[in-house]
A and B are shown apart, each in its own frame.
Chain A
Amino acid sequence: MGSSGLLTSLIDGILIGVVYGLAAMGLTLIWGVMNVINLSHGTIIAFGMFGVYLIFTTLGLNPYLTLVLVAILGLLLGVAIYFIAIQRVIDAPHLSTLLATFAVNMILLGVGTAVFTTNFRNVDYALGNIQMGQITVLGTRLVAALAAVFVAGALYFFLYKTRPGKYIRAVANNRAAAELMGIPSTQILALSFGIGTMLAAIAGGLIATLFPFTILSGGVYELKSFVIGVLGGLGNPIGSLAGGLILGLLESIIPIVMPNTWVPILEFVLFIIILLIRPTGIFGAKE
């Protein structure tokens, strides 16, 4: 492989990595605010994929426009999940919230499989190639990465510059103290969960424009999100972007030196090592 081939796969890795980062952002936001590992994350990503797919194929809207609609639906779904399944067990031991979100996952996946079956779908939409010297970049990948960066920026602005965002950070920091300051913690927790699922749905929608998918595809991205979340620091949504970049680069570089099938081994070994050495993640805060 020549240097241009290496550069092409590096750039591909970066572009995909940013989208991975967006997928993990929702998981890590929910973890950071309420210490809940959302095991329905993968299926919500898959719902995002199917949301874009359905609107694109039936209404013929531009897939990037449909993302707005998918985002709103994702937010509403998340708020509903919070009030139905999470609120009652939010202070219970970890096993309860893990199983509650897993139960939600089963419900959603059951409905999804019954409606969509497990056949492969793809969003048939192309933006051509972008040629820079000897390097070729797929248009959809570039746009997906830009959209992911834009959403991450918007999240940053929301969390740090707006009042509800500051409430979310206050609740994440210390829920009891935030309540004493008059912050309505239940609504803020519901909003955080909603934003978390919204981010997952948007990421799913973007991934749908890149690769073919089934209703079960979310599981792969959920596992990737765990790895990224740990890389970037669980509870640090912006760190996810950096974690995603690392993962994307690893996935593009490792196949050059060893067989492709070794990628998941290295990913998960890295995941275990980081959890053992520094459970708050490379970019995470000190405990």
Chain B
Amino acid sequence: MGDPRMTLQLQAVLEVFFADPAQARYGLELCEATALPSGTIYVILARLEGCGWVESAWEASADYDGSGRPRRRYYTITDKGRAAAPEAINRAYGKRRRPPPSWVPA
């Protein structure tokens, strides 16, 4: 399975994950952090999850109170994603002979 297309939106999502790779994020949180519409975020998350760069799990039952809020699904970047994403971005920018964004690890 190949890499996903390195669109700017996909890069924006990756940037949030790379800001703190240990931090798990939920969909709405990523919408707000990237200012991207919900419909786009979930497509990107599905692609990232499909290629194994990101994994997701329901929040532990202890973390959601009895207030009736449905469970959140939290996404975390995988080791594979941490290794493959910078490579893919550098490759994409290299083809266009432009420097990659500054947040991308060398």
A binds B: no
